Structure 1
Amino acid sequence: MCILTLICSCIAQRSPYKEDIYNRRSNKKKKNDKPNIIVIITDDQDELLGSMHVMPKTLKWMRDQGVHFNNSFVSTPMCCPSRSSFLTGMYTHNHHVYTNNENCSSPYWQANHESRSFATYLSNAGYRTGYFGKYLNEYNGTYIPAGWREWLGLVKNSRFYNYTVNFNGQKMKHEDNYYQDYFTDLIANDSVTFLKRSKQYFPKRPVLMVLSTPAPHGPEDAAPQYQHLFYNNTFHRTPSWNVAPNYDKQYLLKVTGKMEPIEQRFTDVLQQKRLQTLQSVDDLVDKVCNELWMLGELDNTYILYTSDHGYHLGQYGVIKGKALPYDFDTRVPLYMRGPGILPRSKISNMVLNIDIAATILDIAGLEIPDHFDGKSILRLIKAYRDPQNVDSKGFVKTRKPWGDTVLLERGKITGKRYKDMMREQKRTFLENPETRLLYATPKQKRIYKECAKPENQPPCKVNQKYQCIKDPKRKLPRLMKCRPGDETKDLMLNDNGPPCHCKKRRKRRRIARLQRKYLQTQMKTSNLRSSIKRKKRSYINSVDENSVPPVSPIDRRCRVLQNNTVSCDQILYQDADAWKNHKDQLDDMIQEYRKMLEDLRKYRRHLKKEKPRETFLSQFDKNDEFLESVGLPGTSPACKCDTNQTNFNARKEAIKEARKERRKRKRKNKNKKRKRDCNQNDLKCTIHNNNQWKTPPLWNSSYWNLQSGEKLRRRDHPACKRDNMDCSIMDNSHWKTQPYWTNGPFCFCSNSNNNTYWCLRTINSTHDLLYCEFINNFISYYDLTEDPFQLKNAIHDVNYGVPSRSRKAYDYNTTSSAEDAQKKFGNAKAISSDQYFGGRDSDFETKQNLQKFQGSNSISSDDYFGDNSSKNRSYNSGPDLQEIKDGVRQGVTKVAGKISSIASGVMTSLQRKS
Structure 2
Amino acid sequence: MKTSLFLWMYTLIAIAILAGCNSAEPHDESSEESARQPNILFIMSDDHAYQAISAYDDRLIHTPHIDRIASEGMLFERAFVTNSICAPSRAVILTGKHSHLNGLRDNGDRFDGAQQTISKLFQQNGYHTAIFGKWHLKTDPTGFDTWKVLPGQGHYYNPEFRTSQGKEVDSGYVTDLITDFSLEWIDQVKNDNKPFFLVYQHKAPHREWLPKEEDYKAFTKKTFPEPATLFDDYSGRSKAAQEAEMRISDHMGLTNDNKIKPSVAESHGFTDFLPWYSNAYHNNLDRMSDEERQAWDAVYDPINEEFDAQNLKGDELTSWKYQRYMQDYLGSIAAVDNNVGRVLDYLEENDLADNTVVIYTSDQGFYLGEHGWFDKRFMYEESFRTPLMIRWPGVVEAGSRNSDLVQNLDFAQTMLDMAGIPMPEDMQGKSMVPLLKNKNPIWRKALYYHYYEYPGIHAVKRHIGARTDQYKLIHFYDDIDEWELFDLESDPDELSNVYDTPEYSDVQDEMHEILMELAQHYKDSVGMEQAKWRE
TM-score normalised by the chain length of structure 1: 0.44
Q: Percent identity?
A: 24
Measured in 2, the distance between the counterparts of 1:94 and 1:255 equals 27
Shift of residue 58, structure 1, vs aligned partner: 2.1
1 or 2 for the larger relative contact order (CA 8 Å, sep ≥6)?
A: 2
Alignment pair present for 1:248 and 2:244: no
- Contact 2:238 2:484 survives alignment (8 Å): yes
- Contact 2:53 2:67 survives alignment (8 Å): no
Residue 808 of structure 1 aligns with which residue?
Answer: none
Residue 397 of structure 2 aligns with which residue?
Answer: 342
Shift of residue 241, structure 1, vs aligned partner: 2.0
User: Where does 1:139-158 land on structure 2 (aligned, <5 Å)?
Assistant: 139=139, 143=140, 145-158=141-154
User: Where does 1:128-527 land on structure 2 (aligned, <5 Å)?
Assistant: 128-139=128-139, 143=140, 145-174=141-170, 180-200=171-191, 202=192, 204-231=193-220, 237-253=226-242, 259=249, 260=314, 261-318=316-373, 320-339=374-393, 340-383=395-438, 397-398=440-441, 401-411=442-452
Alignment pair present for 1:788 and 2:476: no
Which is worse superposed, 220-229 or 44-53? Answer: 44-53
Residue 20 of structure 2 aligns with which residue?
Answer: none
Task: Flag the 1:373–1:783 CA change in 2: closer, same or farther, 3 A.
Answer: same
Measured in 1, the distance between the counterparts of 2:172 and 2:221 equals 29
What secondary structure is seen at the aligned counterpart in 2 of 1:316? helix
Measured in 2, the distance between the counterparts of 1:258 and 1:42 equals 22
- Contact 1:79 1:309 survives alignment (8 Å): yes
Measured in 1, the distance between the counterparts of 2:456 and 2:152 equals 24
What secondary structure is seen at the aligned counterpart in 1 of 2:219? coil
What secondary structure is seen at the aligned counterpart in 1 of 2:371? coil
**Which amino acid letter does the alignment assign opposite residue 128 of structure 1?**
H
Task: Flag the 1:894–1:65 CA change in 2: closer, same or farther, 3 A.
Answer: closer
Task: Flag the 1:237–1:50 CA change in 2: closer, same or farther, 3 A.
Answer: farther
Measured in 2, the distance between the counterparts of 1:161 and 1:59 equals 23
- Contact 1:131 1:153 survives alignment (8 Å): yes
Task: Flag the 1:892–1:355 CA change in 2: closer, same or farther, 3 A.
Answer: closer
Which among 28, 36, 39 is matched to residue 39 of structure 2? 36
Measured in 2, the distance between the counterparts of 1:382 and 1:885 equals 33
What secondary structure is seen at the aligned counterpart in 2 of 1:276? helix
Measured in 2, the distance between the counterparts of 1:894 and 1:267 equals 41
**Which amino acid letter does the alignment assign opposite residue 771 of structure 1?**
L
Task: Flag the 1:407–1:291 CA change in 2: closer, same or farther, 3 A.
Answer: same
Measured in 1, the distance between the counterparts of 2:64 and 2:226 equals 24
Shift of residue 307, structure 1, vs aligned partner: 0.1
Task: Flag the 1:899–1:791 CA change in 2: closer, same or farther, 3 A.
Answer: closer
Shift of residue 154, structure 1, vs aligned partner: 1.1
Task: Flag the 1:341–1:86 CA change in 2: closer, same or farther, 3 A.
Answer: same
Residue 84 of structure 1 aligns with which residue?
Answer: 91
- Contact 1:242 1:258 survives alignment (8 Å): no
Measured in 2, the distance between the counterparts of 1:100 and 1:725 equals 10
Residue 760 of structure 1 aligns with which residue?
Answer: 466
- Contact 2:215 2:334 survives alignment (8 Å): yes
Residue 76 of structure 2 aligns with which residue?
Answer: 69
User: Where does 1:110-121 land on structure 2 (aligned, <5 Å)?
Assistant: 110-111=113-114, 113=115, 116-121=116-121
CA-to-partner distance for each residue in 1:156-203, whole Å, 9 max, x for gaps? Answer: 1132125321234331124xxxxx331111111111111111123x1x
Shift of residue 896, structure 1, vs aligned partner: 8.5
Measured in 1, the distance between the counterparts of 2:164 and 2:509 equals 55
Query: What runs of 5+ residues in structure 2 fail to find an aligned partner?
Result: 1-33, 250-313
What secondary structure is seen at the aligned counterpart in 1 of 2:154? coil
**Which amino acid letter does the alignment assign opposite residue 408 of structure 1?**
Y
Measured in 1, the distance between the counterparts of 2:328 and 2:87 equals 23
Measured in 1, the distance between the counterparts of 2:214 and 2:317 equals 27
Shift of residue 231, structure 1, vs aligned partner: 4.0
User: Where does 1:697-736 land on structure 2 (aligned, <5 Å)?
Assistant: 726=457
Shift of residue 249, structure 1, vs aligned partner: 2.7
Query: What runs of 5+ residues in structure 1 fail to find an aligned partner?
Result: 1-30, 175-179, 385-396, 414-723, 727-749, 802-877, 908-914
What secondary structure is seen at the aligned counterpart in 2 of 1:99? coil
Task: Flag the 1:245–1:233 CA change in 2: closer, same or farther, 3 A.
Answer: farther
Residue 678 of structure 1 aligns with which residue?
Answer: none
Shift of residue 888, structure 1, vs aligned partner: 3.4
- Contact 1:67 1:336 survives alignment (8 Å): yes
- Contact 1:236 1:271 survives alignment (8 Å): no
What secondary structure is seen at the aligned counterpart in 2 of 1:48? helix
Measured in 1, the distance between the counterparts of 2:492 and 2:222 equals 22
Task: Flag the 1:253–1:272 CA change in 2: closer, same or farther, 3 A.
Answer: same
- Contact 2:484 2:498 survives alignment (8 Å): yes
User: How many residues are treated as equivalent by the alignment?
Assistant: 426
Residue 9 of structure 2 aligns with which residue?
Answer: none
Alignment pair present for 1:884 and 2:504: no
- Contact 1:155 1:163 survives alignment (8 Å): no
Shift of residue 367, structure 1, vs aligned partner: 1.1
Task: Flag the 1:232–1:206 CA change in 2: closer, same or farther, 3 A.
Answer: same
- Contact 1:49 1:328 survives alignment (8 Å): no
Measured in 2, the distance between the counterparts of 1:890 and 1:756 equals 19
Task: Flag the 1:82–1:255 CA change in 2: closer, same or farther, 3 A.
Answer: closer
Task: Flag the 1:236–1:104 CA change in 2: closer, same or farther, 3 A.
Answer: farther
Residue 104 of structure 1 aligns with which residue?
Answer: 110
Measured in 2, the distance between the counterparts of 1:334 and 1:61 equals 13
Measured in 2, the distance between the counterparts of 1:402 and 1:235 equals 38
Aligned-residue CA RMSD (Å):
2.9
Measured in 2, the distance between the counterparts of 1:342 and 1:380 equals 11
Task: Flag the 1:267–1:50 CA change in 2: closer, same or farther, 3 A.
Answer: farther
Task: Flag the 1:893–1:125 CA change in 2: closer, same or farther, 3 A.
Answer: closer
CA-to-partner distance for each residue in 1:456-493, whole Å, 9 max, x for gaps? Answer: xxxxxxxxxxxxxxxxxxxxxxxxxxxxxxxxxxxxxx
What secondary structure is seen at the aligned counterpart in 1 of 2:113? helix
Shift of residue 51, structure 1, vs aligned partner: 6.5
Shift of residue 234, structure 1, vs aligned partner: 6.1
**Which amino acid letter does the alignment assign opposite residue 464 of structure 2?**
W
Shift of residue 889, structure 1, vs aligned partner: 5.5
Measured in 2, the distance between the counterparts of 1:286 and 1:888 equals 41
What secondary structure is seen at the aligned counterpart in 1 of 2:218? coil
- Contact 2:95 2:117 survives alignment (8 Å): yes
Residue 302 of structure 2 aligns with which residue?
Answer: none
Shift of residue 884, structure 1, vs aligned partner: 3.3
Alignment pair present for 1:46 and 2:49: yes
Which among 725, 747, 751 is matched to residue 459 of structure 2? 751
Residue 773 of structure 1 aligns with which residue?
Answer: 475
Measured in 2, the distance between the counterparts of 1:104 and 1:725 equals 16
CA-to-partner distance for each residue in 1:66-88, whole Å, 9 max, x for gaps? Answer: 11001011111100111111111
**Which amino acid letter does the alignment assign opposite residue 71 of structure 1?**
R
Task: Flag the 1:51–1:233 CA change in 2: closer, same or farther, 3 A.
Answer: farther
CA-to-partner distance for each residue in 1:575-630, whole Å, 9 max, x for gaps? Answer: xxxxxxxxxxxxxxxxxxxxxxxxxxxxxxxxxxxxxxxxxxxxxxxxxxxxxxxx
Shift of residue 757, structure 1, vs aligned partner: 0.5
Which is worse superposed, 247-256 or 88-97? Answer: 247-256
- Contact 1:88 1:372 survives alignment (8 Å): yes
Shift of residue 351, structure 1, vs aligned partner: 1.0
Shift of residue 794, structure 1, vs aligned partner: 1.4
